[in-house]
Structure 1
Amino acid sequence: MANSRAARWIYLRLSQLGLLVSRDDVLWCYHYLLGREPESESDLLSKIHYRSFRALAQSFTDSPEYLQGRTVSREDVLWCYEHILGRAPESEIVLLSKMHYRSFRALAQSFTDSPEYLQGRTVSREDVLWCYEHVLARAPESESVLLSKMHYRSFRALAQSFTDSPEYLQGRTVSREDVLWCYEHILGRAPESEEAVTSFMSTRDFRSLVSFFLESVEFAGRHPSSSDSPADVWKSSIPPDVFREALFQPLNPQSLTKQDRDYVNLHFERLWHAMNALADLSPSGGRLIDFSARSHFSDAMGKLLPDVEQTGVNGVNYELDDYAHLYGESSFDICLNMEVLEHLIFDPAHMVWSMNRMLKTGGLLFLSTPNAVAMTNALHWMNGDSPTLWNQVIPGKPYYERHNRDWTPSEVVRLLEENGFTVLNVYTRDFYSSSHELLPQHSRDISYLQSHARHTYFGDTICVLASKQESLTGPVRNTWLYADQD
C-alpha cells in the first residue's frame, strides 16, 4: 500500500512538472508525425511511459515508418504553388510531376531553390492595396500613387517602405480591426465585450497597442518567456529594491568595482531571479557550491540567505580540474551554475560530472545559460543580423571570456541527463533590455514564429532545475556534442 501511494505521488508530481506525456501528446505525434491514427487504444497507451514530450516525439521520428517517408499529396503541391510562388500551376501535368517527392520538406525546398522563387518579382497591385489597408489603414490617394509603389522587387521591401514612412511612424488612433487583430493573434481569443474593444481604440498607434498586449499579464501567462517576475516559478519573492541594496552594499565596499556595477546593472533581472530560486531551494539552509561565484552576488546571498553555507569555485579550470578533490565529494546540497556553460571550449561534460560528484544524492542544481533558440535570436536572423545577443569580441581578454557556444534547452537537458542528473524543470525567460525593446516591434513576426515553431522556449535565457540521480565514474561524452577523433 505504501509503495502504491508513493508511486501515485511520484506520478502526480512528474505530471505537474510536465515530465510525463499525456494521451493528447501521443495522439498529436500520430496525427502530425505519422499522419494516421494509432492502431489501437492499447498501442496509444503504451507510448505514455515517456518522461518528456521530446523523448516521445523522438521515438516517432526515429521509427522506420517516419524515416521511410511517403509521396507528397496533390494538396501539398498546390500549397507550395500558392504560398511560395504565389500562383497556380501551369497545368495538371506540371502539378502531378511534383508528386514524386518523398517528403513535404523536399518538395518545399525544390520550390524555394527554383529560379522563379530566387529571382523574385515586382509586387502586385493587391500587395500595395494590402499595405495601405493593413499598415496605414486607409485607401491610396489615387491610382497613380498606388502604381508608383509597384516598382519594389519584393513584398518585404514594399512593406518596409510603408512602416518607415512618416505617416506610419507618427502614429494614429487605432481601428476596431486593429484591436480585434491583437486579441486574435496575441492573446488567441475573442474580446470579452464590445466595451473592451472600444477601450483600446484611444491608443494613438498600432505599435503602442501591440506593446500593451505583449506586456499584459494574460500574454505573460500564455508565453512563458515573456515574464520577468520570479513569482510565477518560485514561491519566494524577494523585493527587487531589497535585492538591489544587498548587491550594491557589499560586505567589502572596495570589492565592488565599476566593472562589477556595470555587470550588475546589465544582469540585474537574471540575478534577482536566481536569488529567488535559491531562497526557494534552501528554506532550511544547507551547503551550496557556487560555480559562478562573484563577490557581489555572494555577499548579497550572505545577507538575504544567512543560513546557507556558501563555497565559491574560483581560480580553477572548469573543464580540467578535479573539483571533488578540492571541495569534497557528495558534500553539497545545492549547486549554482549561472552563465558558465556558454564559455566552455572543449569539455563541458567534465564540468557537469564534477558538479554531480560534489552534490549529495538528491542534491539540486540550478543552472542558467543564454538560449540559442530565443525569439530575439530568430528576429535578428530574419533581419539578416547575427542571431546571438552575445557575440562581441573582447580585445585583450582570454578566449574563455567570450561566448564560445550557445546552447538550446534540449541540449542542456540532454547533457545533464547523460551525466547523472534528473531534470525537474526547464524554462526560459527574457531578462535583457534588448529583448524587451525588440519583441514589441515585431508582433507579426512573433505570431508567425510561435505558430510554426516546434518548441516553446523563446526567452533569451535558459533556466534548469535538476537533481542528482546517480553517481558516475566519469563524464559521458556522446557524439551529438563531441566530434569523433578516430
Structure 2
Amino acid sequence: MARQPQRKHTLRNSPHAEMVELPLPRGLSQSTEPSKDKILATASSPAFNLEAYMRSLGGPNAPSTFSAEYLNTHTRRFDETTRLIGSAKRGKRALEIGATDYFQLALGKTFGFDEVWGTIFSEHVEHKFYGRDVAAAGHSIRSTTVSLDIERELFPVTADYFDLILYCEVLEHMDIDPMFALCEFNRILPVGGQLVVTTPNCCSARNTWKILQGYRPHFFM
C-alpha cells in the first residue's frame, strides 16, 4: 500500500512551509515498474543516450579528462539513474542539482522536458543566473543555470515550478544540514512531483575498507 502524505519537519526561523513527505512514486512500485526492455528502449532512443555520450568523450570536442574518468567510474550509477528518470512521469520542467552535461542533455533530448535547469556553485557574479549551451554526441540544448548555495539560498522560482528534481551524489557533500534544501525542494515541487535522490553507501564493504585505511568513504579510487 502506498504511503499517504504526512506532515514532517519545519525549519526554525525559515520562510518554508511544513515539510511534506511525498508518497512513493508510482513508477517505483512493483506493480507498475516498467520492464527492463522498456527502460532500455527509452534510454537508447535515437535522440540521446549514455552509450553515445560515452563515445563522444574520445572525440575532438570531448569534455575534460576528469569528466571522462569520472564517467567511466560511475557508468553503472548513471545507467541506474537514467532508469529511475524513465520510470517517472513526464513533465515540462526538470532541475538537476549539480549540473552534468549528460543528464542535462538526457532530460531535454531523451525524456523531453521543455525546460532543463541545473545548479552550480560559482563565486562569479555572471554565473548567478544565465543560459548555458550544453552539447555532446551531436546534440545540444539550452540550459538555465543557477549558481547558489542550496544549504542557505532559495531558488529563484515560484512554488510548484518543477516536475522533476535530480539530487544525485550531492547529499553527502552537505556541510551543515540537508533539511534546508529538502524543504526548498518540497516548495518548488508540486504534489505528485518527482524527487530522485542517490548517495553512496557508506556502509558497503568497500567504503568500510576505505575508512579503515584513512580515506574518506566518498573518495573514489
TM-score (norm 1): 0.29
Query: How has the CA–CA distance of structure 1 residues 379 and 345 changed in structure 2, closer, same or farther, with 3 Å as cutoff?
Result: closer
Alpha carbons of structure 1 residues 248 and 360: separation in structure 2 relative to 1, 3 Å:
farther
Compute the displacement of 1:242 (Å).
4.2
Q: Which has the higher strand share?
A: 2
Q: Give the corresponding residue for 1:359.
A: 189
In 2: Cα distance, 1:306 partner to 1:361 partner: 21
Alignment of 1:291 with 2:97, yes or no, is: yes
CA distance 1:233–1:260, shift in 2 (3 Å): same
Distance 1:385 1:243, change over 3 A: same
Residues 292 and 313 of structure 1 are in contact (CA less than 8 Å); yes or no, is this contact kept in structure 2? yes
The answer to whether the Cα contact below 8 Å between 1:376 and 1:387 also exists between their aligned partners in 2 is no
Structure 1: which 5+ runs fail to align? 1-10, 15-229, 393-433, 435-486
Secondary structure of the 1:259 match is helix
Which secondary structure does the structure 1 equivalent of 2:172 belong to? helix
1:322 and 2:129 correspond: no
User: How much has 1:302 moved relative to structure 2?
Assistant: 2.5
Take 2:161 and 2:118, find their aligned partners in 1: how far apart are those partners?
Answer: 14
After the TM superposition, which residues 79-94 of structure 1 pair with which residues of structure 2 at under 5 Å, given as runs?
none
Instruction: Tell me the equivalent position of 1:312.
Output: 118
Give the match's secondary structure for 1:370. Answer: coil
- Match for 1:345: what amino acid? D
CA RMSD of aligned residues (A): 3.3
Counterpart of 2:173 in structure 1 is 343
Aligned to 1:385: 213
Contact 1:234 1:280 in 2 (8 A): no
* Percent identity over paired residues: 22
Structure 1 match to 2:206: 376
Q: Which residue of 2 aligns with 1:207?
A: none
TM-score, normalisation: structure 2: 0.60
Whether contact under 8 Å (2:107, 2:113) holds in the other structure is: no
* Number of residue pairs the alignment of both structures matches: 160
CA distance in 1 between partners of 2:53 and 2:109 (Å)? 7
1:334 and 1:267, CA in 2 relative to 1: closer, same or farther beyond 3 A? same
2:106 matched to 1:300? yes
**Is 1:244 the counterpart of 2:78 in the alignment?**
no
Are 2:94 and 2:107, in contact at CA under 8 Å, matched by a contact in 1?
Answer: no
Aligned residue type for 2:69: D
2:118 corresponds to which letter in structure 1? G
Q: Using the alignment, how far apart are the partners of 1:255 and 1:318 within structure 2?
A: 29
The within-5 A match list for 1:94-243 is 236-237=39-40, 238-239=43-44, 242-243=49-50
Gaps in structure 2 of 5+ consecutive residues:
4-32, 121-146
Please give the alpha-carbon distance, in whole angstroms, between the structure 1 residues aligned to 2:54 and 2:191: 32
| Partner deviation per Cα, 1:13-68 (whole Å, 9 max, x = no partner) | 45xxxxxxxxxxxxxxxxxxxxxxxxxxxxxxxxxxxxxxxxxxxxxxxxxxxxxx
The one-letter amino acid of 1:289's match is L
Aligned to 2:71: 264
More helix by share: 1
Aligned counterparts of 1:234 and 1:353: Cα–Cα separation in 2: 36
**Local SS of the residue matching 1:329:** coil
Deviation for aligned residue 1:390: 2.4
Larger Rg, first or second structure (1 or 2): 1
CA contact (8 A) 1:319 1:346 kept: yes
